Amino acid sequence: MASTSTSTSTNPTNDSQVVAPPEDSVSALKFSPATLKQNFLIAGSWDNSVRCWEIEKTGKTLPICMKTVGGPVLDVCWSDDGTKVFIASEKQVNIWDLASDQQMQVAAHDAPVKTCHWIKSSKYACLMTGSWDKTLKFWDTRSSNPMLAINLPERCYCADVDYPMAVVGTAGRVLIIYSLENSPTEFTRQESPLMYQHRAVSIFRGKNKNPTGFALGSIEGCVAIQYMNPLNRKHNFTFKCCRSSASAECQDIYAVNDIAFHPIHGTLATAGSDGIFSFWDKDARVKLMSSKTMDQSITKCCFSADGQIFAYAVGYDWSKGHEYFNPAKKPQIFLRPCYEDLKPRTT
């Protein structure tokens, strides 16, 4: 039976709350790149909006601007200089120039666009888009035609980019890794190490500061750590999260909605439908901490470029069906100082 009462503890972690959040669940959450001196946070939502806030060092948030598009926002990303935001909504991607507050279409697909990532290298710059039309496209934003279109075996469910590497996860538990040097080319293809549908993927870097592997999260409350170099694949492993034990014989299992790596420490955060975020040290294979349980799912999370702030969005993700939707519970975005909490475990 659906709950109809309003929770009296919507902020059990006592973290700073972002003012003027979206009216519907947050589907994308990204901090501005390190090229900007200030911290800005953008959030895309199912209410057809993208909002931008300035985050002061005190933790105070200032709403800067908002843009409304024609449908639910499925993904957002920043340009490398932090002056523009790309918005994936329905079958297209728009570029939003923050200074002029103008937007224009720069990409198109035959089905909803699930992911968008800006790629910047010394050789080229382009926008990568993954869609449910089973294609991956690369766009010079000055042209209405893609630079390159790649057929995928199934619909694109998740993707991440950290030059010179891209990882794309599709329906059917397929993972494709691309090399982005010179031009995007398929590096390797594999079946997911997880048994159920994957929902989130995030690339991590090694001690040499180069992309080394990725973490993959599934709807079954599991995360797989996968290394790219065949010599390091002996270090691949999976771990369970987003689970609660009702009894010794019964366990509730929730989806991993998002994964983010700390830009300084290389440790990671997971966020799930259980309303809990956790910090992990993948190298020591230990959990660093878990939050108290929020009264709704955590739909998205991210770190600021300097690694000082952890942002996470709370809202209903429909994982329990429409009968558990409570309109009295509104979406929220929280900010948490995190630098010390994410330090790797010392041995």
- Residue pLDDT, tens place only, 197-228: 999 999 999 988 899 999 999 999 999 999 99
Q: Give residue 252's pLDDT.
A: 86
Tokens standing for residue 172: 């059917």
Which whole number is the average pLDDT over 144-164? 97
Q: Give residue 238's pLDDT.
A: 96
Question: Are 263 and 231 a contacting pair, CB within 8 Å?
Answer: no
User: What's the whole-number average pLDDT of the chain?
Assistant: 92
Which whole number is the average pLDDT over 56-61? 86
Share of the chain above pLDDT 90, in %: 82
Which whole number is the average pLDDT over 25-46? 96
3-state secondary structure of 40: strand
Share of the chain above pLDDT 70, in %: 96
Question: Are 147 and 206 a contacting pair, CB within 8 Å?
Answer: no
Residue 24 has pLDDT above 90, yes or no: yes
- Tell me which residue of 331, 341, 239, 248 sits closest to 283, measured CA to CA: 239
Domains of the chain: 16-342 (2.130.10.10)
Region of 217 (left: φ > 0; alpha: ψ -120 to 50; beta: rest) is beta
Which whole number is the average pLDDT over 78-84? 97
Distance CA 69, CA 88 (A): 9
244-287 pLDDT, tens digit each: 765 556 778 899 999 999 999 999 999 999 999 999 999 999 99
Q: Give residue 3's pLDDT.
A: 34
pTM above 0.85, yes or no: yes
Distance CA 187, CA 183 (A): 12
Tokens standing for residue 302: 């991210």
Of 36-40, 247-251, 275-279, 333-337, minimum mean pLDDT range: 247-251
Q: Which residues lie closer than 8 Å to 30 by C-beta, 6 or more apart?
A: 41, 42, 76, 77, 78, 302
Distance CA 132, CA 211 (A): 26
Residue 305 has pLDDT above 80, yes or no: yes
Tokens standing for residue 265: 């420490």
Q: Which residue has the tokens 């009216």?
A: 23
